[in-house]
Amino acid sequence: MIQKREAHELPSALNQLNELKAQFHGKTPAIFLDYDGCLTPIVQRPEMAVLSDDMRQALQELATVTKVAVVSGRDRQNVAELVQLDNLYFAGSHGFDITGPGGMASEPGGAKAALSALDKADTMLQEKLRQVEGSQVERKRYAIAVHYRNVADDQVEMVRKAVDEVLDSMPELKIGLGKKIYELKPNIDWHKGKAVMWLMEELGLNKGNYIPLYIGDDITDEDAFAELQGQGIGILVGEHDDKTAATYRLEGVDEVRVFLEDLTDSIKKINHG
């Protein structure tokens, strides 16, 4: 049974650092993070989410002491280009497309079968939403993000209606919800949580030496928090519109960076302890 709480009820990961680290039980935490809202602040348009030099350095140093993966709804190539670090793993499209050091490249989850449906849905949505000012239809390899952050409140219903009409005609696709976004994804039982567990297995991290730690801010990250309950640690950044299965909270991107820097020091001590 998945335990869920309101975001404001969660203890701060920074204030309760010692309690959080006690849960490592001498294991090394393997770190999984969302990109938008965790490594960069949420911005008006997705292309404006640029990683700061300080955050990039924090990630790079953390990746010298443990495995670090960015698990994003963005296209894998897009998020890899934004991060610009070759010692990280990248799981794009909610984990349908994964690459990493040593030539790792895999597309688990079986999403290729949905590509033609996504092509068709993209064309339909561009047509339906052409008249809705501020809407943005962003085609990714394994998803279509329909952004309505810049749409007038009284027109958001039109965006949802267009998305529903397309989904009604396409059983190969399903909806995913996020912050001011509707996402059309392959109708397959695969998500960020399954991608995290796939990476844990693929990298040989599930043999008792590592504990998965996931940091995310959005409803799509709840799949990972739920998957890790009882076998890892989930940290919610900020809050979203629902209850959360995370166990700790960080206020924003700056706190994420401070937490990652502290983790690097802690893991060094574990490794040399």
The two tokens of residue 268 are 């060094």
SS3 for 106? strand
Angle between helices 156-168 and 115-128 (to 10 degrees): 140
SS3 for 28? strand
Q: Are the beta carbons of 160 and 189 closer than 8 angstroms?
A: no
Q: Are the beta carbons of 111 and 93 closer than 8 angstroms?
A: yes
233 — alpha (psi -120 to 50), left (phi > 0) or beta?
Answer: beta
Angle between helices 53-62 and 253-272 (to 10 degrees): 20
The two tokens of residue 178 are 């996020």
Q: Comparing C-alpha atoms, which of 17, 81, 94 is closest to residue 50?
A: 81
Reply yes or no on whether 265 is catalytic: no
- Give the helix ranges, DSSP H, for the chain: 17-22, 53-62, 76-83, 115-128, 156-168, 192-202, 222-228, 253-272
Amino acid at 58: A
Q: Are the beta carbons of 208 and 27 closer than 8 angstroms?
A: yes
Alpha-carbon distances, residue 184 vs 42, 43, 91, 160, 272 (angstroms): 20, 21, 18, 12, 46
Catalytic residues: 34
